[in-house]
C-alpha cells in the first residue's frame, strides 16, 4: 500500500519527451540534449528538475550563455541565492559565485556546497568561462549510492548520527579579516559569523525520499556524541566509501557546457592539475534544512 508520506516523497519522473536523457552510469550522471537553456519551454524546465533529482548530475553542452541567462535559467528552476554566504566574487552579479584559479579559486577538496549553513543550496549550476587546455575536470560522488551500498550495520549506525559542519576552517579568517565580519546575505540575513551547524549524517531527500550519506571532508568537522578518535575513524570510513570509483562521475569541460548537480545527494571535487587559468561561474538554488531518518 502506498501511503501519503510515500507519495509526497516520490519525485515526478521526467516525461522524457521534452528533453533527451543519456545516462552516464548506473547511478549518477546524465547528459541532457534537445534543450536550449535560453529558450527552454516550461515542460522542459519541469523535466530538468525531475531529471536532476533522478540522475543527480546533469551535463548540457553547447549553451554559451552569459551571467544574466545563467541566473534567469536558475530562477526558472527554483529560488536563487546569493552566490556565496561570505565570499566576495568581485565584479559579477550578486547571484554569481566566481571561482578563478588566478585568484586562488580552487575546489580540490571533496565537499557539498555550503553545508556550513543551516540551509545549504538544493542545487548548483556551473559553467566555465576560461578553461585550461587540459585538466581541471570536475568529479561528483553519489551520496545515495554510497548509503545504499554501505553494510546494514553501518547504515543503522549512520542513521542515528548527527555531525557538525564548520565553515570557519575554510572561510573564518577571510570573513573576519578580508570582509571585516560582514559577509553576504544568506537565507534572509547578513552572515557575520560562522557558528557550526548540525546536520544529520544520513539525509532524507525532500523530493525522492531516498537516503544519502551527508558528510563531506570540506565542511564536516566531527560527529556529535562520540570521541574524537571515533569521529575521525567513522568519517574516514564514510569518505573512503563515498569516493569509491563506482560512486563517481567525472566531467571534462568544454566551453558551452553547463552542469547542474543536486547538492542534497552529491559531493564534488575539482581537479587541480593544470597551470593555465581556469574560471568558473556558479549559481545556486535555495535549499531546505536537511532532515534525517
User: Which of 123, 126, 223, 285: binder of ligand AKG (CB under 6 A)?
Assistant: 126
How many Å apart are CA 98 and CA 108, to the nearest integer? 15
Q: Which residue number, 124 or 220, has a Cβ lying nearer to ligand AKG? A: 124
Residue nearest to Fe ion (CB): 113
- Distance of closest approach, residue 124 Cβ to ligand AKG, in angstroms: 5
Q: Which residue number, 210 or 282, has a Cβ lying nearer to ligand AKG? A: 282
Burial of 141 from C-beta contacts in 10 A (0-12 / 13-18 / 19+): buried
113 is catalytic: yes
Residue of 113, 142, 166, 262 with catalytic role: 113
Contact by Cβ (8 Å): 77, 48? yes
Contact partner at residue 210 from Fe ion, ligand AKG, none, CB < 5 to 8 Å by partner kind: none
Phi, psi at residue 242, to the nearest 5°? -60, -40
User: Alpha carbon 31 to chain centroid distance?
Assistant: 17
Q: Which residue number, 113 or 144, has a Cβ lying nearer to ligand AKG? A: 113
Q: Between residue 129 and residue 158, which ones bind ligand AKG under the rule CB under 6 A?
A: 138
- Strand order of the β-sheet with 266-270 is 248-251, 138-142, 266-270
Q: Between residue 262 and residue 291, which ones bind ligand AKG under the rule CB under 6 A?
A: 268, 270, 280, 282
How many Å apart are CA 142 and CA 159, to the nearest integer? 17
Instruction: Identify any residues that bridge with 110 across adjacent strands, giving them in sequence order.
Output: none
Residue of 27, 268, 278, 281 with catalytic role: 268
Residue of 27, 70, 111, 278 with catalytic role: 111
Q: Residue 61 gets which letter from DSSP? A: -
20 is catalytic: no
128 is written with which cell numbers?
566555465
Contact by Cβ (8 Å): 183, 168? no
Residue 127 near ligand AKG by CB under 6 A: no
84 is catalytic: no
**Mask of contacts with ligand AKG, 105-124, x by CB under 6 A?**
--x-----x----------x
User: Alpha carbon 84 to chain centroid distance?
Assistant: 13
Residue 113 near Fe ion by CB under 5 A: yes
Look at residues 255, 246, 252 and name the one whose alpha carbon lies nearest to residue 271: 252
Q: Which residue number, 74 or 158, has a Cβ lying nearer to ligand AKG? A: 74
Which positions touch ligand AKG (CB under 6 A)? 99, 107, 113, 124, 126, 138, 268, 270, 280, 282
Which positions touch Fe ion (CB under 5 A)? 107, 113
The catalytic residue positions are: 111, 113, 268, 282
Amino acid at each position: 500500500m502506498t501511503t501519503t508520506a510515500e507519495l509526497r516523497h516520490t519525485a515526478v519522473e521526467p516525461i522524457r519527451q521534452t528533453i533527451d536523457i543519456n545516462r552516464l552510469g548506473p547511478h549518477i550522471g546524465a547528459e541532457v540534449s534537445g534543450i536550449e537553456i535560453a529558450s527552454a519551454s516550461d515542460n522542459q524546465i519541469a523535466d530538468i528538475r525531475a531529471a536532476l533529482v533522478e540522475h543527480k548530475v546533469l551535463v548540457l553542452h553547447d549553451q554559451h550563455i552569459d551571467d544574466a541567462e545563467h541566473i534567469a535559467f536558475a530562477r526558472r528552476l527554483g529560488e536563487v541565492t546569493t552566490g556565496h554566504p561570505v565570499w566576495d566574487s568581485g565584479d559579477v552579479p550578486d547571484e554569481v559565485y566566481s571561482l578563478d584559479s588566478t585568484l586562488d579559486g580552487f575546489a580540490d577538496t571533496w565537499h557539498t556546497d555550503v553545508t556550513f549553513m543551516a540551509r545549504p543550496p538544493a542545487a548548483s549550476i556551473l559553467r566555465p568561462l576560461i578553461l585550461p587546455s587540459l585538466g581541471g575536470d570536475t568529479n561528483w560522488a553519489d551520496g545515495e549510492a554510497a548509503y545504499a551500498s554501505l553494510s546494514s550495520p553501518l547504515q543503522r549506525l549512520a542513521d542515528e548520527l548527527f555531525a557538525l559542519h564548520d565553515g570557519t576552517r575554510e572561510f573564518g579568517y577571510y570573513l573576519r579579516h578580508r570582509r571585516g565580519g560582514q559577509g553576504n546575505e544568506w537565507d534572509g540575513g547578513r552572515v557575520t559569523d560562522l557558528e557550526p551547524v548540525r546536520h544529520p549524517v544520513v539525509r532524507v531527500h525532500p523530493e525522492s525520499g531516498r537516503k544519502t550519506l551527508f558528510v563531506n571532508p570540506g565542511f564536516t568537522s566531527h560527529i556529535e556524541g562520540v570521541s574524537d578518535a571515533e569521529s575521525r575513524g567513522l568519517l574516514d570510513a564514510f569518505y573512503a566509501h563515498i569516493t569509491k570509483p563506482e560512486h563517481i562521475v567525472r566531467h571534462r569541460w568544454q566551453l558551452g557546457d553547463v552542469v547542474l548537480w543536486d547538492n542534497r545527494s552529491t559531493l564534488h571535487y575539482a581537479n587541480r592539475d593544470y597551470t593555465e587559468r581556469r574560471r568558473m561561474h556558479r549559481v545556486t538554488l535555495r535549499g531546505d534544512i536537511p532532515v534525517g531518518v
